């Protein structure tokens, strides 16, 4: 369980706001958007990756105390490589509509030519 940053009340991981003091814990009331808060006197921007590389467009920059985009500059962003499958089954599933259309056209031409 987590604790509320304002009142210290124990709260559930999925809580959107603190049940005791109503402090918002998730950004925009959405459980999937984490709201990062500065704990000390220093703003989040001092240790944020987006402020360091000057890609931050947050209006409260450089004095933001709360931010949804915060990423610690000491923790590298690791991208997971995507696996591409090249088996025929994957290609057939991906292009099933086109395959059906081509087969329908071939069948139509076959029927039209056989009736001559």
Looking at residue 51, its pLDDT comes to 83
- What are the two backbone dihedrals, phi and then psi, of residue 59, each rounded to the nearest 5 degrees? -65, -30
pTM above threshold 0.75: no
Q: What residues contact residue 90 under an 8 Å CB cut-off, 6+ apart?
A: none
| Number of CB atoms found within 10 A of residue 51's CB | 22
Please check whether residue 76 is in contact with residue 52, taking contact to mean a CB–CB distance below 8 angstroms.
Answer: no
Query: Is residue 48 exposed (0-12), middle (13-18) or buried (19+ Cβ within 10 Å)?
Result: buried
Contacts 24+ apart (CB under 8 A), 6-11: none
For every one of its 116 residues, what pLDDT tens digit does the chain have, with 9 covering 90 and above?
A: 678 877 888 888 777 788 888 887 776 666 677 778 887 788 888 888 888 888 888 788 888 888 888 888 888 878 777 777 778 888 899 999 999 999 999 999 999 999 87
Q: What is the pLDDT of residue 25?
A: 73
Amino acid 102: pLDDT: 97
């Amino acid at each position: 369980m987590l604790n509320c940053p304002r009142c210290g009340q124990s709260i559930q991981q999925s809580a959107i706001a603190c049940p005791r003091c109503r402090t918002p814990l998730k950004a925009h009331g959405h459980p999937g958007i984490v709201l990062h808060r500065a704990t000390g006197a220093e703003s989040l921007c001092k240790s944020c990756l987006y402020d360091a590389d000057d890609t931050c467009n947050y209006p409260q920059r450089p004095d933001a105390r709360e931010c949804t985009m915060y990423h610690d500059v000491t923790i590298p962003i690791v991208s997971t490589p995507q696996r591409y499958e090249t088996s025929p089954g994957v290609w057939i599933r991906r292009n099933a509509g086109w395959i059906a259309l081509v087969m329908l056209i071939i069948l139509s031409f076959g029927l039209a030519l056989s009736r001559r």
